[in-house]
Amino acid sequence: MLQKKVKKRVSLLVVLFSSSVIAIFFILQSLNSNILYFKSPTDIKNNQDINFKKKIRVGGMVKKNSLIINEQEIKFIITDFNNELKISFSGTVPNLFAEEKGVVAEGKLQDKSFFIADRILAKHDENYMPPELKDIMKKNVK
Amino acid sequence: MLSNIGNSILFISAFLSISIIYLANKNLKVSNNLIIKNIYQLSLIQSTLIIVCFFTLIAAFIVSDFSLVTVYQNSHSMKPVFYKIAGTWGNHEGSLLLWVIILTIFSFLFLIYNKDHPKKFRLLTLIIQNILILGFLFFILFNSNPFSSLSPTPSEGLGLNPILQDPALAIHPPLLYVGFVGSSIYFSAAIASLIVNYSEKSFSSSIKNWVLISWCFQTLGILVGSIWAYYELGWGGFWFWDPVENASLLPWFAMTALLHSLIVFEKRNLFYFWVIILCLITFILSVTGTFLVRSGILNSVHTFASDPTRGVYILLFLSLMIFSSIYLLFKKYKKENYNLNQNSKETFILINNWFMMFYLITVLLGTIYPIFTDALTDNKISVGPPFYNAIIFPIVVIFLIFMAVGPKVKWIKNKFEDIKVYFLILAGSIILNALILVFIKSYSILSNFIIISALFLIISSLKDGVSAIQKNKFDLARIISHTSFGFLVLFIGLNHIFSIERDYNIKVGETKNFENYSIKLEKLDLKDFPNYKAVIGTLEINNNFSNEKNILKPEIRIYDNPKTLTYEASIKTNLLKDYYLTMSNIDRSDYYNIKFQKKPLMIWIWISVVMIVAGGFLRLFKNAKYS
């Protein structure tokens, strides 16, 4: 009787433990393949091994007089004041999207100077700047 | 003047907390089983005062007393009265005051409603709760004082961010706080129970209603926030996996796990330490959420102005809570009996808890991972919806199956007598799913599994309901909540599968065609409102298939105080679907950027969540009736 009890407890613990390990492994695995890296135009220029298939986020200031709009898409250039990146986007832009304002775009790099975005990130406050962008601005604007 | 009143009340409240702690501590040493009257009185005065204090702040907002920094920064004399009042808790300082109110009121209610529990346990709970109150009062007084005054008094305030001027967002924080902060009382009770070794079954009856209350309000709070995000953020979704949303979801998982394991503890006197751990982590996660949101450490859509010093204070407080919890747990841990039969209700509830923990860990890792990579590797990353979708949805399938079978399982030892019935239900679900596939549209394999398992849960819960009514002995609360959860997953699944989304850049007079719809931007009107100007578009949406015509009028609003541009979605809701349209103008061009979405069964998603909560309230009423 006792043995049976011990057996049961052991099997319960084993199931709990092994399932937890598998679960955590599963989570971390998926985390690794689903994170989005944030890059500035300078990062992209300096980076040698870019994975063009992977989604990333890019950020910078929308360059003055760079905005072109037609029926299909919105094109603009973002800059971190050292380097630039052309962006093409079709979709809804957030409230405060405008030239000379900070912007973060999510999508894929086509080559080192052209980026197709499938999302422009929402911002709700005119003074708000994504923390990533703030750091870049701090580094470059002195 | 109001500033002085508020500040004095805050100081008096802090003093009262200290007195309560002192008196309770003294009373602990007296060996009779009565708590002295003074403690009740002080507790009552403390609750009353803090409410008065809050009303003082509301009054300051109503009369637009700009000598208070908080009012100056978050209000404006031209704002409608309703939003002046809602503005009270729409900011960091005011919301912290709300936080303390809930801590205090719950502390008082817990004291008066648990007379049949050991005195030591009640007093210690009171002491710990008052330590929490004191901690937050100090935080308010020395860091985030809503009554800080400004001199000279400005003539006009800066205004409340227009997207926060919204009925849903006015009630969202109070609801969520009852959930978040409500969990403090069972945190305190758990610590007290550890200290006085109060680990009998009856401990569960002291906290179970509090767990239910906080769970119900937390769920409602999440719902209202998500409805707000749906119509206000102009993006058409109702869940972003934004850190702020995650922060509200984390304690919810812990609460849900606690809600279930408490049943086992109450019935079988098992899992005492597990229940305690869940009590502790629920409140710890609530505070963690607050820390993440308020410290600005995470990039989020939320508009709380962030301030690192706040973060440091909350972090200190948080670490103190965590370390003392862990210390106590290790000190008091005794070996527990976990000899469960694999086929018993106990095991099934443990499985529920396993899933809740799994979701919790997933969301927690996804939320804080970016902080670590930033600190350790200097890589800036973000974890987006694909991560959560990839992990949570496949697992939901298994979870739903267990959820359908679990409640029928018997305590201690179960035998599956009606396996046949389950196979029949499963077959029925598969057939229903196939019907949708054949007659409407095909979808991915995973979606198939999700729909089938959701149907499985719904049908088996309904069947439970029917057979229970026949026997006239049933747990309506559980059946309502579980069935509604099945419906929730089903509707989310169908909504996801059958959504249509289109973006166009369009000029006035133009028509766009897609599938069997056509959209025409007919005209634009400019209108003046008391606190904003609006460009209102009139768009006609034609369903060429059913000849159904709809006029939608999305707006672009230009607010003056503070100067902000917002897009108001236009939504046509009916029982089957929502049409959702947002419009934005694009810098220096006559194109308008429109986003059209057809979201099937949207309203049913909200209704399902309301029903889940209804089950919770029903259980609460039943508990109240029988105790």
Identify whether residues B120 and B245 lie together within a single domain.
no
Per the CB < 8 Å rule, is A27 touching B391? Answer: yes
Identify whether residues B98 and B29 lie together within a single domain.
yes
Cβ–Cβ contact A91 with B under 8 A: yes
pLDDT band of A139, cuts 50, 70, 90: low
Q: Is the pLDDT of residue B304 over 60?
A: no
Residue A95: what pLDDT?
Answer: 65
Find the Cα–Cα–Cα–Cα dihedral B565, B568, B569, B574, rounded to 10°. 170
Identify whether residues B571 and B521 lie together within a single domain.
yes
Residue A141: what pLDDT?
Answer: 47
Per the CB < 8 Å rule, is A69 touching B586? Answer: yes
User: Which two three-digit tokens encode residue A111?
Assistant: 């080559």
Residue B385: what pLDDT?
Answer: 84
Distance CA A130, CA B493 (A): 32
Considering B470, B498, B526, which residue would you say is the last residue of a domain?
Answer: B498
Span of B139-148, B309-318, B373-382 with lowest mean pLDDT = B373-382
- Kindly report the average pLDDT of chain A as a whole number: 77
- Mean predicted confidence (pLDDT) in B418-439: 86
Which of A12, A38, A96 has its CB closest to that of B381?
Answer: A38
B377 lies in some domain: no
CATH architecture of the domain with residue range A37-140: Beta Barrel (2.40)
Residue B608: what pLDDT?
Answer: 96
pLDDT for B497-507, tens place per residue?
A: 888 888 888 88
Identify whether residues B63 and B84 lie together within a single domain.
yes
pLDDT band of B300, cuts 50, 70, 90: low
B15 lies in some domain: yes
Span of A5-14, B322-331, B369-378, B417-426 with lowest mean pLDDT = A5-14
pLDDT for B456-503, tens place per residue?
A: 999 999 988 888 777 766 678 889 999 999 999 999 999 988 888 888
Cβ–Cβ contact A47 with B under 8 A: no
Q: Closest Cα partner for A65 from A18, A99, A88, A31?
A: A99
Q: Is the pLDDT of residue B184 over 90?
A: yes
Identify whether residues B217 and B102 lie together within a single domain.
no
Span of B247-251, B536-540, B545-549, B611-615 with lowest mean pLDDT = B545-549
Q: Is the pLDDT of residue B128 over 90?
A: yes
- Mean predicted confidence (pLDDT) in B417-445: 85
B217 lies in some domain: yes
Residue A134: what pLDDT?
Answer: 60
**H/E element, B552:** strand B548-552
pTM for the complete prediction? 0.90
Identify whether residues B203 and B313 lie together within a single domain.
yes
Identify whether residues B252 and B136 lie together within a single domain.
no
Interface predicted TM-score (ipTM) of this complex, two decimals: 0.76
Per the CB < 8 Å rule, is A16 touching B380? Answer: no
Which of B301, B342, B383 has its CB closest to that of A124?
Answer: B301
Residue B315: what pLDDT?
Answer: 86
Residue A132: what pLDDT?
Answer: 55
User: Which two three-digit tokens encode residue A72?
Assistant: 């299909």
- Kindly report the average pLDDT of chain B as a whole number: 87
Considering B161, B186, B204, which residue would you say is the last residue of a domain?
Answer: B161
Q: Is the pLDDT of residue B219 over 50?
A: yes
**Closest chain B residue to the Cα of A126, Cα to Cα:** B564
pLDDT for A31-52, tens place per residue?
A: 888 888 888 888 888 877 777 8
B304 lies in some domain: yes
Considering B127, B161, B195, which residue would you say is the last residue of a domain?
Answer: B161
Residue B613: what pLDDT?
Answer: 96
Identify whether residues B98 and B208 lie together within a single domain.
no
Residue of B561 and A93 predicted with greater confidence: A93
Span of A53-57, A71-75, B535-539 with lowest mean pLDDT = A71-75
Q: How far is A86 from chain B (nearest CA, A)?
A: 17
Cβ–Cβ contact A57 with B under 8 A: yes
B125 lies in some domain: yes
Q: How far is A140 from chain B (nearest CA, A)?
A: 17
Long-range contacts of A27-33 (CB under 8 A, 24+ apart): A27/B361, A27/B362, A27/B365, A27/B391, A28/B365, A30/B387, A30/B390, A30/B391, A31/B365, A31/B366, A31/B369, A31/B383, A31/B387
Identify whether residues B128 and B244 lie together within a single domain.
no
pLDDT band of B242, cuts 50, 70, 90: confident
Q: How far apart are the first and last CA of chain A?
A: 77
Contacts across the A-B interface (CB distance below 8 Å): 126
**Closest chain A residue to the Cα of B366, Cα to Cα:** A31
Cβ–Cβ contact B384 with A under 8 A: yes
Residue B158, sorted as left (phi over 0), alpha (psi -120 to 50) or beta, turns out to be: alpha
Task: Confirm if B371 and A131 have CB atoms less than 8 A apart.
Answer: no
Identify whether residues B219 and B315 lie together within a single domain.
yes
What is the identity of the amino acid at B125?
Answer: T
Residue B19: what pLDDT?
Answer: 94
Residue B547, sorted as left (phi over 0), alpha (psi -120 to 50) or beta, turns out to be: left
Residue B360: what pLDDT?
Answer: 94
Q: Is the pLDDT of residue B553 over 80?
A: yes
- Mean predicted confidence (pLDDT) in B177-191: 93
Q: Is the pLDDT of residue B317 over 80?
A: yes
Distance CA B542, CA B552 (A): 11
Task: Confirm if B488 and B502 have CB atoms less than 8 A apart.
Answer: no
Identify whether residues B487 and B506 lie together within a single domain.
no
Q: Is the pLDDT of residue A111 over 90?
A: no
Q: How far apart are the first and last CA of chain B?
A: 47
Distance CA B64, CA B545 (A): 54
pLDDT band of B587, cuts 50, 70, 90: low
Residue B481: what pLDDT?
Answer: 93
B380 lies in some domain: no
Q: Is the pLDDT of residue B201 over 90?
A: no
For CA atoms B609, B103, B52, B92, the dihedral sign is negative
Identify whether residues B485 and B524 lie together within a single domain.
no
Q: How many structural domains does chain B have?
A: 4
pLDDT band of A126, cuts 50, 70, 90: very low
* Residue of A17, A19, A29, A30 for testing the chain B interface, max B β-carbons within 10 Å: A30
pLDDT for B104-125, tens place per residue?
A: 999 999 999 888 888 899 999 9
Span of A28-32, A123-127, B21-25, B515-519 with lowest mean pLDDT = A123-127
Q: Is the pLDDT of residue B514 over 90?
A: no
pLDDT for B10-53, tens place per residue?
A: 999 999 999 999 999 998 888 777 888 889 999 999 999 999 99
Per the CB < 8 Å rule, is B381 touching A124? Answer: no
Task: Confirm if B328 and B276 have CB atoms less than 8 A apart.
Answer: no
Range of the domain at B486: 388-498
**H/E element, A20:** helix A2-34
Task: Confirm if B27 and B35 have CB atoms less than 8 A apart.
Answer: yes
Task: Confirm if B173 and B89 have CB atoms less than 8 A apart.
Answer: yes
Residue B193: what pLDDT?
Answer: 93
Q: Is the pLDDT of residue A142 over 50?
A: no
B621 lies in some domain: no
B434 lies in some domain: yes
Cβ–Cβ contact A106 with B under 8 A: yes
